[in-house]
Amino acid sequence: MSSPISTNLVPSQHGNTSKENRHLSNFKASFWGDVFLSSPSQMEMDAGTQHEYEELKQEVRRILVANMDKSSQKLHIIDAVQRLGVAYHFEKEIEEALQIIYHHHCNHIEIDGDDLYTTAVRFRLLREHGFDVHCAATFNKFKDENGNFKESLIGDVKGMLELYEATDFQLHGENILEEVLSFTTFHLKLAETTVDYPLYTQIANALKRPLRKSLPRLIARSYISIYEGYGTQDENLMKFAKLDFKILQHLHKKEINKIIRWWKDLDVAINFPFIRDRFVECYFWKLGVYFESHYAIVRNFATKVICLISILDDIYDVYGPFEELKSLQKQFKGHIKHISTFTSNH
């Protein structure tokens, strides 16, 4: 167990500050309680499951590198792979496939994909991966002679949804995407009351939090059910996404279990009774940035740093009187010179 951490701030020159002079906040107890403290259920892969996992991964890889009659098919597979949260396994294959699609698009050798749905998906994926795609040339074809979006687009709800998602990749000065956002938002809100599941759920999720403004793990959790609900899914991709989600979920539970034990070893509740107990939220914050299994060390380290910073934040914002905080600040500054020595030796 780690040695206790003193909560005594440096006394001010006027003597100890009484408790009555401190601005204590009654933060609510952690919502999570001890739910993550118990050991997570076992999800270790046996040899059979590991073999199935690797086989499914290779099947998905084969789909991504396979030649397809229509580039729109490849786009839809890439889109599904990303939404299902397994794209981190196939970054090279996805980039190569999009490079080919971009080349065809720039040289006008596309043999399909002029419909609203495919055009919007292609624009979003290419922009997301850093390709230079011009929105005016892409979307002006969906306007009529009066400069308004064609009324016929309203009936293509899936296409409208993808067009809406594409607007989050707007660059400065691209006014047409402002028009797209207004047009699609209005009609998607109307369509939301008339369509069935899973399209209804997909629209509701997008209007609340578009793909670009959501977290990959939340998107994956939701889209697994949506993708399956359409009934047109690739079975191998579906199986792989479910298995990968469970494996990652188990890993994340194990990680947060260890972080909670580290937090309790610090006796934070005793030494710092005035702070917010938000270690789960700190972990979730970093999970939104690094969810992949190979970032486990980064996730663990960054979460602990944020937890410690949160202690200091509450000391400064809630607990410490001004004079004591000035003294504490001087002590921090006095140790800054040691940081370069520490980092160079580690």
Answer whether residue 291 is part of any domain: no
What CATH number is attached to the domain comprising 192? 1.50.10.130
| Residue 286 φ then ψ, to 5° | -75, -30
Q: Check: CB of residue 259 under 8 Å from CB of residue 297.
A: no
Residue type, 182: S
Cα–Cα distance between 84 and 230 in angstroms, integer?
Answer: 14
Answer whether residue 134 is part of any domain: yes
Answer whether residue 123 is part of any domain: yes
Cα–Cα distance between 295 and 258 in angstroms, integer?
Answer: 16
Q: Check: CB of residue 244 under 8 Å from CB of residue 217.
A: no
Cα–Cα distance between 202 and 196 in angstroms, integer?
Answer: 10
Q: Mention every residue, 6+ apart, whose C-beta is less than 8 A from residue 302.
A: 286, 289, 290
* Residue corresponding to tokens 């991966």: 129
Q: Check: CB of residue 275 under 8 Å from CB of residue 320.
A: no
> What dihedral angle (degrees, nearest 10) is formed by the CA atoms of 115, 118, 120, 121?
180
For 124, the domain range is: 51-241
Cα–Cα distance between 63 and 77 in angstroms, integer?
Answer: 8
Positions of E strands within 221-307: none
Q: Check: CB of residue 313 under 8 Å from CB of residue 14.
A: no
Query: What is the predicted pLDDT for the residue at 30?
Result: 78
Query: What is the predicted pLDDT for the residue at 15?
Result: 47
> What dihedral angle (degrees, nearest 10) is formed by the CA atoms of 133, 136, 137, 141?
130
> What dihedral angle (degrees, nearest 10) is formed by the CA atoms of 176, 177, 178, 181?
130
Cα–Cα distance between 241 and 254 in angstroms, integer?
Answer: 20
Answer whether residue 18 is part of any domain: no
Answer whether residue 80 is part of any domain: yes
pTM reported for the whole predicted model: 0.86
Query: What is the predicted pLDDT for the residue at 112?
Result: 67
Answer whether residue 198 is part of any domain: yes
Query: What is the predicted pLDDT for the residue at 150?
Result: 96
Answer whether residue 153 is part of any domain: yes
Give, for all 346 residues of the chain, the pLDDT tens digit.
444 444 455 444 444 545 556 666 677 777 787 778 776 665 567 888 999 999 999 999 999 999 887 889 999 999 999 999 999 999 999 999 999 999 988 887 765 678 999 999 999 999 999 999 999 989 999 999 999 999 999 999 999 999 999 999 999 999 999 999 999 999 999 999 999 999 999 999 999 999 999 999 999 999 999 999 999 889 999 999 999 999 999 999 999 999 999 999 999 888 888 888 888 999 999 999 999 999 999 999 999 999 999 999 988 888 888 888 888 888 888 777 776 665 555 5
Cα–Cα distance between 78 and 89 in angstroms, integer?
Answer: 12
3-state DSSP assignment of residue 143: strand
Is cis: bond before 216, omega within 30 of 0?
no
DSSP label at residue 295 = G
Name the residue among 247, 246, 236 with its Cα closest to residue 77: 236
DSSP label at residue 290 = -
Query: What is the predicted pLDDT for the residue at 64?
Result: 97
Cα–Cα distance between 124 and 52 in angstroms, integer?
Answer: 32
| Residue 97 φ then ψ, to 5° | -65, -40
Q: Check: CB of residue 234 under 8 Å from CB of residue 81.
A: no
**Count of domains forming the chain:** 1
Cα–Cα distance between 282 and 72 in angstroms, integer?
Answer: 40
